[in-house]
Amino acid sequence: MTKKKKSAWLENIEAILIAIVIALFIRAFIVQAFKIPSGSMLETLQIGDQILVNKFIYGVKIPFTDGKTLIPVKNPQHNDIVVFKYPEDPSKDYIKRVVAVAGDTLEIVNKKLYVNEKVVTDQPWAQYKDPRILPGQITTRDNLRKIIVPANKLFV
């Protein structure tokens, strides 16, 4: 019995389809590229920087479920940089640094960040460059009352 050979054209189509499936799997579960659109993460990330995000580090997520975890691996820690959907516009991805995790107390007093009653001064991202202190009625940027980060939440 002789096997029919696939045509070269059919083999190429098959290889392309397999490559697409593998690429979609990698993007959905393992790694994804992002471009930094704004200066909110300066000095760490510059506007226009391109980064690859490890999507597996916090666990395997179930696609199309708003981030439900199938297999948890670890929880985000202080100083981790995380990517998440902006709650007010889920079409936008936000890239931020974890300042506090569930159960932490957090407060900002005259531009000084306190996490668990300790002032954070040893991190370049915790330094304000703008010398003005704005009133609390305008923004909580410079003064934020003490809060406790709720369970299953992060402060970024």
Q: Which residues are catalytic?
A: 40, 96
Q: CA angle, corner 69, sides to 64 and 74, nearest 5?
A: 145
**Spatial distance between the Cα atoms of 40 and 26, rounded to a whole number of angstroms:** 28
**Is 94 in contact with 83 (CB distance < 8 Å)?**
yes
Greatest Cα-to-Cα distance within the chain, rounded to the nearest angstrom: 86
User: What type of residue is 36?
Assistant: I
